[in-house]
Structure 1
Amino acid sequence: MTVNNFFFRLFLLAFLSVGSIYAQSDEQKELEARKLRLQEEIQQFNTLLSQKRREKTDVLEDVEDLNQKIRIRKELIKVTNEQTNLISRQINNNINKISKLRDDLKELKSDYAEMIRKSYKSKSQQSRLMFLLSSEDFLQAYKRIQYMKQYTNHRKEQAAEIQSKTTQLQELNNGLVTQRKDKENLIAENRKEQASLEREMENQRGLIASIKEKESQYAAQIREKQKQADAIDRQIDKIIRDAIAKANAANKETTKESRESATKSSNFALTAEAKLVDTDFKANKGKLPWPVEKGVVKMRYGKQPHPVVKSVTIQSNGVRIATENGAQARAIYRGKVLAVQAIKGGNKAVLIQHGNYISVYNNLGKVYVKEGEKVTTKQEIGEVFTSPSDNETVLKFMIYDNNHTDNPANWIYRM
């Protein structure tokens, strides 16, 4: 192998290795960030559960809470496994690099030794001075001087390359020790999480068995709660329809005919300012802040089997977010308060208009804003109600596109 080919191979190997290291580093950072979020979610959930000092136990809620914890913990175990697998791949890659580097060093040292041997042999046959004096003319002598300089520099470069590759080899070996230690820590962490998961699942099985004995009774309770939730949703739907009609009738930027038409419509007739808010709101889809600073989603959007009694189907027009006592509800984006309403069986609700979209914050014990008021992103609009019977603090949050519900998880960052 020529010297030029050898250095090209070394450069190519280094380039590919750097690209691989950066890719793995980004993946590692993403996995670590996911793991920290899940650990924080579990911690939040444990904090919320510790606040629920109940006078009497609600088995259905206990199982719902346990289901949620199990789901989060399973996801955490999955992420930790992905981290372990990534480190295993990195270890294997580094072992292959070390093997390749050792072969390259062996070849480089062999070439260097041969160069030294030839140089010594050349010195023994004739001195540099004689080599120069034997030149036929000045130009040849000049070229020989340049050749000797290049030859000397090449020897120095090869010696430096040997030193550099030796250092890389030592660093890779040290890195292997660290990586193997990280892998051991992750495996130990995973065992701990697995043990917690097994305890929770055992507890879950016991609770579910007790529910099975009275399944028809619990199913009746769930259906009754669903009826109450449906009644509240109908109230909110009516509030939104009435608010759209009222806002359209009051819109002075439209003609009398269009206002009368808009009053009967299910969509907003937007002012220029409202159109701008609408555009900005849509542009931030998936990036909007949570309606509470800390919280865990206990029920997701849409039609779904009950998390405990699977024979019962429930409909959720929004999400239920469990949060801490005294938590403040926050506007997810700038807009105008469309309505503040006392909901029968549901405490108070605040509706905020963002162009064609409406965010709904239900189950508030206190409200800090009034109808028509403009609010900013993350502005506190009220305090989430804490139930005195079970000490649970839950915000019922919805997003409407005009008078149609939409999944909040599509809009809120990492919901």
Structure 2
Amino acid sequence: MSFSVFSQTKKELESQRKKFKSEIIKLNKLLFDEKKKEKNALEDLRDIKQKIDVRNKLISTINLEAKFLSKEIKTNEIKLEKLHKNLADLKADYGEMIYKSYKSKSQQSRAMFLLSSQNFYQAYKRLEYIKQYASFRKKQGEDIVIQTDFIENIKDSLVYQKRVKDTLILSEKNEKQQIETDKKKQENLITKIKRKEKTYKRDLQKQIKAEKRVANKIDKIIRDEIARANKLARAKLKSKSVARKKNEFILSPEAKALAAKFELNKGLLPWPVKEGLVVRKFGKQAHPTFPGITINGTGLHIVTSNGSNAEAIYNGEVLNILLGSGGTKNVLIRHGNYITSYNNLENSFVKKGDKILTGQKIGKIFTDKISKKTKLIFVLFKNTARLNPASWILKR
């Protein structure tokens, strides 16, 4: 049982290592490949910090994997030592048995051994003994062959394990060198930011206020859409006394079923992009550079490849399409009493009232001309309450 758990843990570490390596490749592709016309030191610093964090996780995983291999190698070396001793004992016993057999159990002595029996029963028992002795001798020889093969397998396993460990140690060394390079860039950016700290802080505060205004505007539009949808629902039901709470959708049986299915898929819903990297998480969080400044992630900020499209994460209906100050679009899709928001689109392939299917392309994501980043802001609501989208989509 302990060996099974040990093997499973090693497999998990190997899987983690591959995941972090893949994430670093994705980071380099999505955040560092494109040459920017104008550099934003704060953004660059955040990107480098994210890459350093992933590299540190990768190094920790490599260290754990190397420790497991060291333990495995030590166990196999002890096992090999015992096997060699057992094999030596087996060979010694077998040699002694063959020698005694040669001295005392010639064909003539075997015949005499049988003929000197006092009765038929004793002769039968002596014959059985001779057969068993011959069978035992054969088994001893087979055991020596099996034990020798087993030792060779252990030796091969040790050679492979030592080679893997050497590769891991070399990989760790390379990752540490990369971190040192990234840390030098990080220090240069921090120095640059400190020279213009007031300007960067002022711009940051403006950005935070602008994001808050946009969030409030979206909140109001959603409240208005809920009120409009509820008015239509009451008219359809021909009743003004339909039980409801403030700012919550009145759900038809179909809408209830859709919302229930949406909830059942929590943690299993697809990403709104084919390939993406989260650069800002959901919720309030301290700014990575300026202590005392808090930023609020209304959803997930996902950087993706240039030319990518946003895709619906579930069946639904287009609730509204909002126009941003820079001409970008935000498509709101209703799934019962849940709403998904696909913000920062260059254009939209859908219109208000359209029925949408899971995976359907919603619109092309806008690529910033200066930063060269293609970023989708993905937000999830239940009625008017914002939820953490990371808890609803598949983990990558």
Deviation at 1:227, TM superposition (A): 0.8
Q: Does 2:118 correspond to 1:116? A: no
Change (3 A) 1:283 1:346: farther
Which residue, out of 345, 350, 357, partners 2:331? 350
- Report the TM-score when normalising by structure 1: 0.86
Deviations 1:311-350 (A, max 9, x none): 3111111111111111111122233333222234572112
**1:247 paired residue number:** 229
Describe how 1:16-415 pairs up with structure 2 within 5 A: 20=3, 22-50=4-32, 52-123=34-105, 127-251=109-233, 255-257=237-239, 260-262=242-244, 265-345=246-326, 347-414=328-395
Change (3 A) 1:253 1:90: farther
Q: Is the 8 A contact 1:267 1:403 kept in 2?
A: yes
- For 1:108, the aligned partner's letter is L
Partner of 2:105, secondary structure, is helix
**Post-superposition shift, 1:228?**
0.9
CA distance in 2: counterparts of 1:204 and 1:298, whole angstroms:
17
Aligned-partner Cα distance in 1 for 2:108–2:253: 93
TM-score by length of 2: 0.90
Amino acid at match of 1:74: N
Q: Distance in 1 between matches of 2:106 and 2:34?
A: 92
Q: CA-to-partner distance for each residue in 1:270-298, whole Å, 9 max, x for gaps? A: 33333333333333322322211112111
CA shift digits 1:144-194 (9 cap, x unpaired): 433333332222222212211111111211222222122111111111111
When structure 1 is superposed on structure 2, of 268-277 and 398-407 the one drifting more is 268-277
Contact 1:369 1:381 in 2 (8 A): yes
Letter in 1 for 2:83: L
> Does the 8 Å contact 1:341/1:350 carry over to 2?
yes
Q: How many residues align?
A: 396
Distance (Å, rounded) in 2 between the aligned partners of 1:388 and 1:103: 72
Q: Distance in 2 between matches of 1:159 and 1:268?
A: 81
Query: Does the 8 Å CA contact 1:319/1:397 hold for their aligned counterparts?
Result: yes
Q: Quick check: 212-221 or 114-123, which moved more?
A: 114-123
Shift of 1:300: 0.9
Q: Cα–Cα, structure 1 residues 157 and 218, in superposed 2: closer, same or farther, change >3 Å? A: same
Is the 2:234–2:240 contact (alpha carbons within 8 Å) kept by the matching residues of 1? no
SS of structure 2 residue aligned to 1:239: helix
Structure 1 residues 137 and 278, CA, compared in 2 at 3 Å: closer, same or farther? farther
Counterpart CA distance in 2 for 1:156 and 1:246 is 90
Change in Cα spacing, 1:363 to 1:120, as seen in structure 2 (3 Å) is same
Q: Distance in 2 between matches of 1:284 and 1:387?
A: 33
Q: 1:126 to 1:239 in 2, by over 3 A?
A: farther
Which structure 1 segments of 5+ residues have no match? Answer: 1-15
Offset at 1:61? 1.3
- Alpha-carbon separation, structure 2, partners of 1:213 and 1:207: 10
State the shift of 1:254 in Å: 8.3
Identical counterparts, % of pairs: 42
Amino acid in structure 1 at the alignment position of 2:112: M
Q: Which moved more, 1:31-40 or 1:177-186?
A: 31-40
3-state SS of 1:314 partner: strand
Amino acid paired to 1:186 = L
Distance 2:143 2:280 in 1: 61
Q: Distance in 1 between matches of 2:228 and 2:136?
A: 86
Aligned partner letter, 1:132 = L
Deviation string for 1:256-283 (max 9, x for gaps)? 4477443x53333333333333333333
The amino acid across from 2:390 in the alignment is A
In the TM superposition, residue 224 of structure 1 has moved relative to its aligned partner by: 0.7
Between 94-103 and 342-351, report the one with greater CA deviation. Answer: 342-351
Equivalent-residue separation in structure 1 for 2:347 and 2:65 (angstroms): 44
